[in-house]
Amino acid sequence: MLSVEEALERILAEITALPAVQVPLAASQGLVLAQDVIARDDIPPFANSAMDGFALLSKDSHSHEGQLPRLQVIGGVAAGYVADQSVEEGTAMRIMTGAPVPPGADTVIQIELTRYDDPESTWVEILEGVPPGNNIRPAGEDMRAGQVVLHSGTEIGPWEIGILATLGYAAVPVIRRPRIAILGTGDEIIDVHEPLRPGKIRDSNSYLLEAAVRSAGAEPYRLGIAHDTVESLREKFTEAATCDLILTSGGVSVGDFDLVKDIMAEQGQINFWRINMRPGKPVAFGRINGVPLLGLPGNPVSSAVTFELFGRPVIRKMLGHTRLLKPQVEVIVEDGVNDRAMRRHYVRARVQWRDGHFVAHTTGNQGSNLMTSLLDANAFVIVPEGGTQVHPGDTAKAMMLDWPEV
Ligand code: AMP
Ligand code: MG
Question: Using one digit for the tens of pLDDT, what is the confidence trace for 141-194?
Answer: 999 999 999 999 999 999 999 999 999 999 999 999 999 999 999 999 999 999
- 56 within 8 A of 157, measured Cβ to Cβ: no
Give the ligand with the smallest distance to the CA of 202.
Answer: 1
Task: Note the pLDDT of residue 144.
Answer: 98
Is the pTM here over 0.95, yes or no?
Answer: no
Q: What are phi and psi of 386, to 5 degrees?
A: 100, 15
280 touches ligand 1 (CB under 6 Å): no
Q: Averaged over 99-126, what is the pLDDT?
A: 97
Looking at the predicted structure, is the pLDDT value of residue 254 above 90? no
Residue ID of nearest Cα to ligand 1 atom 14: 298
E strands, 227-363, where? Answer: 245-249, 268-274, 277-278, 282-288, 291-296, 328-333, 344-354, 357-362
d(CA 347, CA 381): 5
Helices 254-267, 230-239: crossing angle, 10 deg rounding: 50
For a mutational test of ligand 1's pocket, the pick from 205, 252, 257, 301, i.e. the residue with the most ligand atoms closer than 8 A to its C-beta, is 205
- 261 within 8 A of 273, measured Cβ to Cβ: no
Confidence tier at 340 by pLDDT (50, 70, 90)? confident
Task: For residue 248, report the distance from its CA to the centre of ligand 2, in Å.
Answer: 11
- 212 within 8 A of 304, measured Cβ to Cβ: yes
Task: For residue 184, report the distance from its CA to the centre of ligand 2, in Å.
Answer: 9
Q: List, in order, residues 6 or more apart from 215 with CB less than 8 Å away.
A: none
Q: Which of 314, 296, 356 is nearest to 332 (CA)?
A: 356
Task: For residue 186, report the distance from its CA to the centre of ligand 1, in Å.
Answer: 7
- 189 within 8 A of 303, measured Cβ to Cβ: no
Task: For residue 265, report the distance from its CA to the centre of ligand 1, in Å.
Answer: 24
Confidence tier at 338 by pLDDT (50, 70, 90)? confident
Please tell me what DSSP assigns to residue 392.
Answer: T
- 58 within 8 A of 106, measured Cβ to Cβ: yes
Mean pLDDT value across the chain: 95
Give the pLDDT confidence of 277-301 residue by residue, as tens digits. 999 888 999 998 899 999 999 999 9
For a mutational test of ligand 1's pocket, the pick from 248, 260, 299, 303, i.e. the residue with the most ligand atoms closer than 8 A to its C-beta, is 299
Neighbours of ion ligand 2 (CB under 5 A): 186, 250-251
Q: Which of 63, 309, 250, 29 is nearest to 156 (CA)?
A: 29
Ligand 1: atom nearest CA of 253 is 2
Give the ligand with the smallest distance to the CA of 189.
Answer: 1
Task: Note the pLDDT of residue 341.
Answer: 85
Task: For residue 164, report the distance from its CA to the centre of ligand 2, in Å.
Answer: 48
Looking at the predicted structure, is the pLDDT value of residue 305 above 80? yes
203 touches ligand 1 (CB under 6 Å): yes
Task: Note the pLDDT of residue 251.
Answer: 87
Q: List, in order, residues 6 or more apart from 274 with CB less than 8 Å away.
A: 1, 2, 281, 282
Ligand 1: atom nearest CA of 252 is 2
Task: Note the pLDDT of residue 203.
Answer: 98
Task: For residue 226, report the distance from its CA to the centre of ligand 2, in Å.
Answer: 10
Please tell me what DSSP assigns to residue 14.
Answer: T
Q: Which of 246, 288, 245, 243 is nearest to 264 (CA)?
A: 288
d(CA 332, CA 347): 13
Q: Is the dihedral of CA 378, 384, 390, 395 positive or negative?
A: negative
Task: Note the pLDDT of residue 289.
Answer: 87
298 touches ligand 1 (CB under 6 Å): yes
300 touches ligand 1 (CB under 6 Å): yes
Task: For residue 203, report the distance from its CA to the centre of ligand 1, in Å.
Answer: 8
Q: Averaged over 353-376, what is the pLDDT?
A: 94
295 touches ligand 1 (CB under 6 Å): no
249 touches ligand 1 (CB under 6 Å): yes
Confidence tier at 273 by pLDDT (50, 70, 90)? confident
Task: Note the pLDDT of residue 164.
Answer: 98
Confidence tier at 310 by pLDDT (50, 70, 90)? very high
Q: Which of 324, 277, 285 is nearest to 301 (CA)?
A: 277
Task: Note the pLDDT of residue 280.
Answer: 87
Ligand 1: atom nearest CA of 251 is 3
53 touches ligand 1 (CB under 6 Å): no
Please tell me what DSSP assigns to residue 146.
Answer: T
Residue ID of nearest Cα to ligand 1 atom 11: 298
247 touches ligand 1 (CB under 6 Å): no
135-172 as b/e: b if 16+ CB within 10 A? bbbebbeebeeeeebbeeeebbeeebbebbebbebeeb
Task: For residue 363, report the distance from its CA to the centre of ligand 2, in Å.
Answer: 26
- 61 within 8 A of 69, measured Cβ to Cβ: yes
Q: Which of 10, 22, 83, 93 is nearest to 56 (CA)?
A: 93
252 touches ligand 1 (CB under 6 Å): yes
For a mutational test of ligand 1's pocket, the pick from 187, 189, 370, i.e. the residue with the most ligand atoms closer than 8 A to its C-beta, is 189
